[in-house]
Structure 1
Amino acid sequence: MSANNTDRYIGPAEVLRKKKDYIIPCVYHFYAEPMQLVKGEMQYLYDTTGKQYLDCFAGVSVVNCGHCNPEITKVICDQVTTLQHTCTIYLTENIVNLAERLAAITPGRLQKTFFCSSGTEANEGAALLASIYTGRQEFISLRQGLHGRTKLTMSLTGLSMWRTDTSPVGGISFAPNAYCYRCPYGKRHPECDLACANEIETIIKTSTSGQVAALFAEPIQGNGGIITPPPGYFKRVKEILDKFNILLIVDEVQTGFGRTGKMFAIEHYDVEPDIMTVAKALGNGTPVGAFTTRPEIADKYTRPGASTLGGNPVTSAAAMATIDFITKNDLPSRAAELGDYLRQGLTELQLKNPLLGDIRGHGLMLGVEMVNADKSPAAVQLDLLLEQMKNRGFLIGKNGPERNVMAFQPPLVITRKDLDSLLNNLADVLAALT
């Protein structure tokens, strides 16, 4: 892009003014001095001045196949000029072909799918399906989990910054998450005997009626701080749930479609979900969500239901093209290899910088918790780091309840050369902060 194009855009200051005047203020943005992004090409983004940025966040795990991926974009353009929308009350082919493709790549016996337009809708629908199947209304969720912005999914969320509803839905109990770096029991894995998982049984017996429909869990808690459970965690959880005939709903909205080095992150734990939700990377930027399950669970949902835009011809075509690109280029293996490379580089930086307190995650979903000398969250330092990295042309995410976790969730088409540049610049910025 050329800087000569700057007059085509209103610029960051005018965007901020209009945002203040016309957007509900809950819609926040990163950076003290934000830029206006106007173009994307695979792992790169560009602002109004033509400046290039290496995108290390991918729209929060959305564009796994890269921005404006030409193979996917062509499929979208071909479809949008042919048939854009009909709703599910008429027969179209793309929606059933996409459902068939999902059945082939999802874990275990997951087979039947309902399509919608977002991860929030997918989780809301999964909760409804669990209640229909079990005849139960209570749920268990994990602390630091994030499942959506509607009344129910916000109530299932265990992060206070996202719980803006002052009258949440009742009947939801929260279990401790597998936050090994700050274990609520002061224990260490594996000597802990998975105390956090064992606590779920206590919660079922003491905090619920015993009639729980399902437990919601992200395999890796993205907004919670890239919280990554240890081996064996989900097997223990599933054993407890099966004992009480409670379903396991696995939220793969951030973790799915190659991000963690597997097609789905729950595959790291060798556990089959009863219901699984997906969104984000399924459409590589087109609005799509879905929940999928085994036939015996799905077949209990028989009363009429529809999603006006869910599974429409364009998003279904985009999703199939996305799956094609992921499988053809073996992006899960690429994420595993490059994730190991990035982790190694971050570990070397950790040895020189006491601000880097913990490194966790799988594949190209890595978090680095920034801490002070007493292990307290170093959120201010992280904001300074992110601002300086942005100025150098690198966009890194942040998350965690204290907003002190650097989040690396780049497009899976990123290269080693990109990662070397990222690590070198990160080393310079960290050196200046310490």
Structure 2
Amino acid sequence: MDGQFIGREAVAAKRKQYFYPCTQHFYRDAPQLVRGSMQHVYDENGKKYTDFFAGVSVVACGHCNPAITERTIEQLRRLQHTTTVYLTEPSVLLAERLESVLPGNLRRTFFVNSGSEANEGALLLARLHTGRKGFIALESGLHGRTNLTMSVTGLSMWRTDKYLDEDVAFIRRPFDPELTLAEASEISLADLKAVLAAKGDTIAALIAEPIQGNGGMIMPEPGYFRAVKELLELHGILLIADEIQTGFGRTGAMFAMEHFGVVPDIVTMAKALGNGVPVAAFAAGDEIAASLNTPSASTFGGNPVSAATALAVLDYIEAERLPERAALLGARLKAGLRELQDRYPALVADVRGTGLMLGMELRGAGSAESAALTDDVLEDLKNQAYLVGKNGVGRNVLAFQPPLVIMEEDIDGLLAALDSTLARLGAQV
């Protein structure tokens, strides 16, 4: 493979020269990735890495999965682009197919290109339907990089606009490392009740990730969202489930809200739906969807190539039973991570999440040391040919979100590599 690529040093230099300074990567010595195949990616020197991050939950069906890629190419050769002002088959077939997997009565779909756009559209729909302006969001949530989605984002590092919409009330997330999940949920619900009592008649919707990804793999106790939905309904407020990162099997269910027995009013989706091809959407039932009735469109939303790809993705998820696979393999991975927590209690503070959306919170002497420790673990695992992510308010949570096609031997290998890394770093403490 030598000579076919300009090399990581040249790529890094050009990136520094031509990208905005906000664009960063995880590693001190970052590999140049040039090829992918299912759960593996390869650098310019041919080194194979096992991917346990999947582009932040995107390639759930695996890199360059031939069952999907061939259908993308077939559509690309037939008809690449039109807009919704013309009739095309792939997008309507995709909308019809989504109704069969979406919860409850959600059957109307508006296609866009990204998770930010999907959440922006859902927030707009909530305002149109309720005639209200305000929103409620959870601390540490992440919903996008447009102005309105950034406004309802509760992670300070992603709130870069100084002029965000101020009509957003934040409530504490149903997680606190010093409390039980039940206690944290009660505090969060108390915050919600206070907001509703003060200005419930001005709120259009509450938006929440069923499991906070970038917030640190935060999963509330089972009854939390049922209580939230009941409180919102008393005030005519909609519940928007941001399933951008959790949707399409990752958590062991098609959509993560299924774990809580709640049907949201609006669902947003992206990432895994296209397995690397940009496609996103927000969905609602007939009554709410009817409120978006003036002419509107997304130039590339639901284009034939993206729609054909998403149909192939849904076929593959069903044929390979990926939600069930995620539940089974996730249990194996979580058990292994908890064994490491028991082995290295000075380094590992917590293991949490469900399915193949798991987090391991690391701890050092303080917040800066915890973040530095996490970076050291990422670097060492990368050197051992395993790619994992990081998230959390303090950027000290290892994120395990591999393609759902990962194998048992991949999990066992990752656990052995992590064991070696923690043992080496622990000896330095």
Question: Alignment partner for residue 334 of structure 1, among 325, 332, 335?
Answer: 325
* Counterpart mapping for 1:90-169 below 5 A: 90-169=86-165
* Counterpart Cα distance in 2 of 1:356 and 1:414: 24
* CA displacement at 1:198 relative to structure 2: 2.9
The C-alpha deviation readout for 1:303-335, integer Å capped at 9, x for no partner, is: 000000000100000000000000111000000
**Does 1:314 find its partner at 2:305?**
yes
Checking the alignment, whether the CA contact within 8 Å between 1:141 and 1:174 is kept in structure 2 is yes
* Counterpart Cα distance in 2 of 1:225 and 1:360: 9
* CA displacement at 1:181 relative to structure 2: 2.2
**Does 1:80 find its partner at 2:80?**
no
Cross-structure match for 1:195: 187
* Counterpart Cα distance in 2 of 1:262 and 1:250: 14
**Does 1:59 find its partner at 2:51?**
no
Question: Alignment partner for residue 378 of structure 1, among 345, 370, 376?
Answer: 370
Checking the alignment, whether the CA contact within 8 Å between 1:180 and 1:229 is kept in structure 2 is no
Higher deviation after alignment, 349-358 or 259-268: 349-358
Cross-structure match for 1:305: 296
* Counterpart Cα distance in 1 of 2:362 and 2:106: 38
**Does 1:261 find its partner at 2:252?**
yes
* Counterpart Cα distance in 2 of 1:66 and 1:295: 34
* Counterpart Cα distance in 2 of 1:192 and 1:129: 30
* Counterpart Cα distance in 2 of 1:80 and 1:386: 37
SS of the residue 1:173 aligns to: strand
**TM-score of the pair, normalised by structure 1:** 0.96
> What code does the residue aligned with 2:304 have?
P
The C-alpha deviation readout for 1:370-415, integer Å capped at 9, x for no partner, is: 1136899711111001001001100010001110000000000000
Unaligned runs of 5+ in 2: none
* Counterpart Cα distance in 2 of 1:170 and 1:191: 29
Cross-structure match for 1:237: 228
**Does 1:388 find its partner at 2:380?**
yes
The C-alpha deviation readout for 1:124-182, integer Å capped at 9, x for no partner, is: 00000000100011001110000000111111100001111111112011011111424
The C-alpha deviation readout for 1:14-58, integer Å capped at 9, x for no partner, is: 111111111111111110111100000000000000000000000
> What code does the residue aligned with 2:229 have?
K
The C-alpha deviation readout for 1:340-371, integer Å capped at 9, x for no partner, is: 00011011111110211111111000001111
CA 1:193–1:411: 2 relative to 1, 3 Å: closer
* CA displacement at 1:209 relative to structure 2: 6.2
Checking the alignment, whether the CA contact within 8 Å between 2:174 and 2:185 is kept in structure 1 is no
CA 1:158–1:136: 2 relative to 1, 3 Å: same
SS of the residue 1:323 aligns to: helix
The C-alpha deviation readout for 1:89-139, integer Å capped at 9, x for no partner, is: 000011111001111001111110000000000000000000010001100
> What code does the residue aligned with 1:24 have?
Y
**Does 1:247 find its partner at 2:243?**
no
Checking the alignment, whether the CA contact within 8 Å between 1:129 and 1:301 is kept in structure 2 is yes
Checking the alignment, whether the CA contact within 8 Å between 2:84 and 2:297 is kept in structure 1 is yes
> What code does the residue aligned with 1:387 have?
E
* Counterpart Cα distance in 2 of 1:425 and 1:94: 43
- Between the aligned residues of both structures, percent identity stands at 53
CA 1:193–1:123: 2 relative to 1, 3 Å: closer
> What code does the residue aligned with 1:285 have?
G
* Counterpart Cα distance in 1 of 2:306 and 2:401: 23
SS of the residue 1:195 aligns to: helix
Question: Alignment partner for residue 197 of structure 2, among 205, 208, 226?
Answer: 205
* Counterpart Cα distance in 1 of 2:185 and 2:274: 39
- How many residues are aligned here? 425
SS of the residue 1:398 aligns to: strand
* Counterpart Cα distance in 1 of 2:157 and 2:393: 7
> What code does the residue aligned with 2:397 have?
V
* Counterpart Cα distance in 2 of 1:153 and 1:193: 24
* Counterpart Cα distance in 2 of 1:100 and 1:398: 36
CA 1:85–1:192: 2 relative to 1, 3 Å: closer
SS of the residue 2:49 aligns to: strand
Superposition misfits of 4+ residues, deviation over 2 angstroms: 187-195, 372-377
> What code does the residue aligned with 1:163 have?
R
Unaligned runs of 5+ in 1: none
Question: Alignment partner for residue 352 of structure 1, among 303, 318, 343?
Answer: 343
* Counterpart Cα distance in 2 of 1:56 and 1:174: 32
* Counterpart mapping for 1:392-411 below 5 A: 392-411=384-403
> What code does the residue aligned with 1:139 have?
F
SS of the residue 2:177 aligns to: helix
> What code does the residue aligned with 2:384 have?
R
* CA displacement at 1:189 relative to structure 2: 3.6
**Does 1:12 find its partner at 2:8?**
yes
**Does 1:369 find its partner at 2:365?**
no
The C-alpha deviation readout for 1:40-84, integer Å capped at 9, x for no partner, is: 000000000000000000000000000000000000010000001
Superposed CA RMSD in Å reads 1.3
CA 1:138–1:347: 2 relative to 1, 3 Å: same
The C-alpha deviation readout for 1:280-315, integer Å capped at 9, x for no partner, is: 000000001100001000011110000000001000
* CA displacement at 1:195 relative to structure 2: 2.5
